[in-house]
Structure 1
């Protein structure tokens, strides 16, 4: 029985709350210096946590699923229309190295957390498989491991709640780190400096207002932006579905076959690839469209609101406080190893934070962070590199799950 003030099937009201709060977050970020320092993304996220934890909106609704199903796929090509195509490939190689190092952090964190808590949490072998796969790739890997190891439904639900709260909190931490002098003194941060320099030359009240200054945009721009984005999404998703049906992947398939299925059957990777190919073939067409970045960014702010909603603090306290500790240890070790390896190999702070985000939350949350921070040259590369996690995550989760199972 639902206890929230607004019910999960009250579609128009929930859509209204998501859109209005996303708009309010953008307005506050651009109007007030205190909000600009926090960032609109964090305001959107914290507001959503407050709304769901105070019982105003439900923790689950088809509306939230629609944001994942429709809004995110549309936002991705819109935000790639004006990226520097040449820099995508230059940055992707660097990001892949630090992404794999960050993945080692997830594995190390899962192993440490398992041995610390295996006597206190039931089914921790299968939960460890789920979380290690998820914190290398994303929610797709979580679902795959839950099904593979047949984890009881109540443990899956409790783990999802812990994961949602942890992801929301970690996203806030990652957004704050680039503003802290401790990290600025120890890491190079060229993308942060580039945004700040552009903002200094602007006339707005806040950095966000300067970055998002008014541009010429016509009805044709809006039509072509949205229409082209929908076209790319439909074509890409149909191709991914077709490729997936052709490649017989699964438990019985070889590593190579599963790798091919992961590459060609992943709709976001196909979408990113098709968008890149379109940019390369029709550069003048995409350069002529204004407003795509603004539309895509507003859609991403809807996503920021939605990812904060399932972070239920009462449910964690009631059902799974130890699971929150379990995932917190994994995330902390991932961040520690990412920052340590990043400094050792002289990676930029922005690259380190984005790959850690891609590990824990998946490529979509990492791209959302790059968008929110104005690191436009890293949006395409982190989407490309982040999808590698989808491929290797299930292998890591399976290996750890089978190993942990021998000790339970």
Structure 2
């Protein structure tokens, strides 16, 4: 086995990219980009230089990080959430998410008219449009549900090509939404919900509680137990009740435990969760494989134009309507990411923007997207 695909080597590089991103984020230029965006950029570069595996030669380590680490990271980030802030942030996000879902559908329909993908892909074009609508409403679950219904996964190269384009566009949109609030605040001064109750515990002298910054052996042993245990319980419940997404179960467990004094006093849950999120983002960067899109040639160009235009139109519509209704650009960016990337990347944005009150709503609207995405995808196929 080549060392390039050796999981220990790859994990070492992913950890190194996180270290590099955190250090660079402390520089003058790096502060403007943030560690989350930097870790995606750095890992995407080395993956496209074939220094680590990318999407087309993905290794089990990547699947394991998506399957295990990402949900447990979310669990840790939710262990300090203040429920009172969720009540204030939830309804606006749900409304904005529904607007974003409508914007996705409109973006697909407009892009269909602009680029006529049916001229290139024939009858497959309708299915592709439905798959993309589904995934940009609620995630890959909807993408695969529609693909399976039409047997699209059997179209080897084309199916792989659509996945490659989806990975590239999704990764680019994470970068866009991370930068969106700073850019939009310069064009159209936004309002913020920072007056909501703060998530961060504050000591008497006004400084951040060190319990929320450092981890000790007591905290580490309990956090590892709770994280793995919560994941196990969420999987058991999913086996009993398949209709309940496991990410929703583990999030609920995190919120419930956060209300107990013992768990609230555990040190290090925030930093541990944040580190695991950075590892998750590093894998997202590795899956941004430009070569796979280039190899499709004309088909790839049509796919990237169609998909990119649809997502861009989604962004324009949700930005305009979100600006008119709320003008909280961080919330708009988080909701847009919940549409395009799903709840996991949406909570990453909430963390990057230090909007802890939006963490659980991000998960909830992501789950709402998973529930609606397949239906909306089939509706688009019907309309086309």
- Partner residue of 1:75 out of 64, 73, 76: 73
Instruction: Tell me whether 1:338 sits opposite 2:318 in the alignment.
Output: yes
- Partner residue of 1:65 out of 63, 66, 76: 63
Distance 1:95 1:315 in 2: 35
- Partner residue of 1:303 out of 280, 300, 303: 280
Gaps of at least 5 residues in structure 2 are: 202-207
| Matches for 1:3-402 after TM superposition, within 5 Å | 6-8=3-5, 10-30=6-26, 32-59=27-54, 60-116=58-114, 117-122=116-121, 123-151=124-152, 152-180=155-183, 182-183=185-186, 185-191=188-194, 215-244=213-242, 261=243, 264=244, 266-280=245-259, 283-319=260-296, 320-402=300-382
Q: CA offsets, 1:342-367, max 9 Å, x none?
A: 12212411111111000000000111
More divergent stretch after superposition (15-24 vs 101-110) = 15-24
Output the aligned Cα RMSD. Answer: 2.5
> Do the aligned residues in 2 keep the contact of 1:191 with 1:350 (CA within 8 Å)?
no
**Paired residue secondary structure (1:136):** helix
> Do the aligned residues in 2 keep the contact of 1:132 with 1:393 (CA within 8 Å)?
yes
> Do the aligned residues in 1 keep the contact of 2:177 with 2:333 (CA within 8 Å)?
yes
More divergent stretch after superposition (146-155 vs 11-20) = 146-155
Q: CA offsets, 1:176-204, max 9 Å, x none?
A: 12222655633213449999xx9xxxxxx
Distance 2:167 2:281 in 1: 12
User: How many pairs does the alignment contain?
Assistant: 367
Gaps of at least 5 residues in structure 1 are: 199-209, 245-260
Distance 1:366 1:287 in 2: 23
Shift in alpha-carbon separation, 1:16–1:105, aligned structure 2, 3 A? same
Offset, 1:285: 1.6
Offset, 1:214: 8.4
Shift in alpha-carbon separation, 1:334–1:33, aligned structure 2, 3 A? same
Question: Normalising by structure 1, what TM-score?
Answer: 0.84
Shift in alpha-carbon separation, 1:383–1:68, aligned structure 2, 3 A? same
